[in-house]
Amino acid sequence: MAVSVSRKKPRLSKKIQCNELGFFYSFLEKILFRLPAAVLLLVFIYIWSSSTTVFSGNVVHFCVTSRKLNNLYCLSAGTQPNFQIPVSLVNDTSDVKEVADSGNRIRFEQVVDATEATASDSKSSILAVMSSKNETVEYAYMDVEEQLKTQRSWISISSHSTCEGRGIYVYELPSKFNKDLLVQCDGMIPWLNFCKFLSNEGLGEPIYKLGRGWYHTHQYSLEPIFHARALNHPCRVYNQDEAKLFYVPYYGGLDILRWHFKNVSNDVKDAMALDLVRWLEAQTPWYRNLGKDHVFVLGKISWDFRRNDKSSWGTRLLELDEMQNPVKLLIERQPWQVNDIGIPHPTYFHPHEDDDIITWQLKVIKSERENLVSFAGADRPDSPESIRSVLIEQCTSTSNGECKFLNCSSGQCDKPESIIELFMSSEFCLQPPGDSPTRKSVFDSLVSGCIPVLFDPMTVYYQYPWHFQEDRDKYSVFIDKEDVRKKSVNVVERLMKIPERERENMRRFIAYELLPGLVYGDQNAKFDKFQDAFSVTINNLLERVSRLNEL
Q: What is the pLDDT of residues 358-382, one digit of tens each?
A: 999 999 999 999 999 999 998 888 7
Give pLDDT, residue 341. Answer: 97
Instruction: Please tell me the predicted confidence (pLDDT) of residue 400.
Output: 85
Which CATH fold topology does 357-518 show? Rossmann fold (3.40.50)
At residue 36, the pLDDT reads 54
The dihedral through the CA atoms of 505, 361, 457, 376 has a sign that is: positive
pLDDT reported for residue 65 = 35
Residue 124: pLDDT band with limits 50, 70, 90: low
Q: What integer pLDDT is reported at residue 137 of this predicted model? A: 72
Q: What is the pLDDT of residue 528?
A: 94
Write the pLDDT tens digit of every residue in 383-397.
878 999 999 999 999
* Helix (H/G/I), strand (E/B), else coil: 213: coil
DSSP string, 504-546: HHHHHHIIIIIGGGGS---TT-B-SS---HHHHHHHHHHHHHT
pLDDT of residue 223: 98
The reported pLDDT for the residue numbered 187 is 86
Q: What is the domain partition of the chain in residue ranges?
A: 147-347+534-549, 357-518
CA angle 223, 229, 234 (to 5 degrees): 145
Q: What's the sign of the alpha-carbon dihedral 96, 483, 57, 79?
A: negative
| 353: helix, strand or coil | strand
Whole-number Å distance between alpha carbons of 137 and 334: 16
8 A C-beta contact, residue 491 and residue 479? yes
Mean pLDDT of the 470-498 span: 96
Class of residue 121 by CB neighbours under 10 A (exposed 0-12, middle 13-18, buried 19+): exposed
Q: Higher pLDDT residue, 429 or 410?
A: 429
Q: Give residue 299's pLDDT.
A: 96
Average pLDDT over residues 396-408: 91
Characterize the bridge pairing of strands 243-248 and 294-301.
parallel
pLDDT (tens digit, 9 = 90+) per residue, 292-339? Answer: 999 999 999 999 999 988 777 899 999 999 999 999 999 999 988 999
Residue 120: what pLDDT? 43
Give the distance, in angstroms, between the CA of residue 394 and the centroid of all CA atoms in the same chain: 28
Mean pLDDT of 34-40: 51
Is the per-residue pLDDT at 21 higher than 90? no
> Which residues touch 446 (CB under 8 Å, ≥6 apart)?
452, 475, 510, 514, 515, 518
Give pLDDT, residue 26. Answer: 54
One-letter identity of residue 37: A
Residue 125 in this model has a pLDDT that exceeds 80: no
3-class state of residue 9 by DSSP: coil
What is the model's pTM? 0.77
In 3-state terms, what secondary structure has residue 145? Answer: helix
Residue 34 has pLDDT above 80, yes or no: no
Average pLDDT, the chain: 81
137, burial (CB in 10 Å: exposed 0-12, middle 13-18, buried 19+): middle
